């Protein structure tokens, strides 16, 4: 019962995180290349760093969404209404 509430929320935030990652990685690569172009010592930016950061972002966001959704899904509505 609780997972029927949690799973759709996790999938919703997963899509949001994936869309933001798809938008932000090319933008970050473009901006970093332009910024680093001004330095004498040249370095390459490995793409795996951005992918790793995106993965960590998705994992942390899943933990946060899971925790709050799980906590809200387990609240008894009668007790919530009585307390408020």
Q: Is the pTM of this model over 0.75?
A: no
The domain spans of the chain are 2-76
Q: CA 79, 81, 84: angle at the middle one, nearest 5?
A: 105
Q: What is the mean pLDDT of residues 68-80?
A: 81
Tell me what pLDDT residue 5 has. 80
Separation between Cα atoms, residue 62 and residue 58, nearest integer Å: 6
Report, in angstroms and rounded to the nearest whole number, the Rg of the chain calculated over CA atoms: 20
Tell me what pLDDT residue 4 has. 82
For residue 3, pLDDT over 90 is answered with no
Q: Residue 53, Cβ neighbours under 10 Å: how many?
A: 14
Mean pLDDT is lowest, of 22-26, 60-64, 77-81, for 77-81
Q: What is the mean pLDDT of residues 66-73?
A: 86
Burial class of residue 9 (count of CB atoms within 10 Å of its CB; 0-12, 13-18, 19+) = middle
């Amino acid at each position: 019962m609780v997972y029927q509430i949690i799973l759709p929320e996790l999938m919703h935030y997963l899509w949001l995180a994936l869309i933001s990652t798809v938008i932000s990685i090319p933008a970050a690569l473009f901006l970093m290349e332009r910024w680093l172009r001004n330095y004498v010592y040249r370095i390459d930016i490995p793409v795996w760093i951005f992918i790793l950061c995106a993965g960590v972002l998705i994992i942390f966001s899943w933990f946060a969404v899971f925790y709050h959704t799980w906590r809200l899904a387990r609240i008894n509505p009668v007790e919530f209404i009585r307390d408020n």
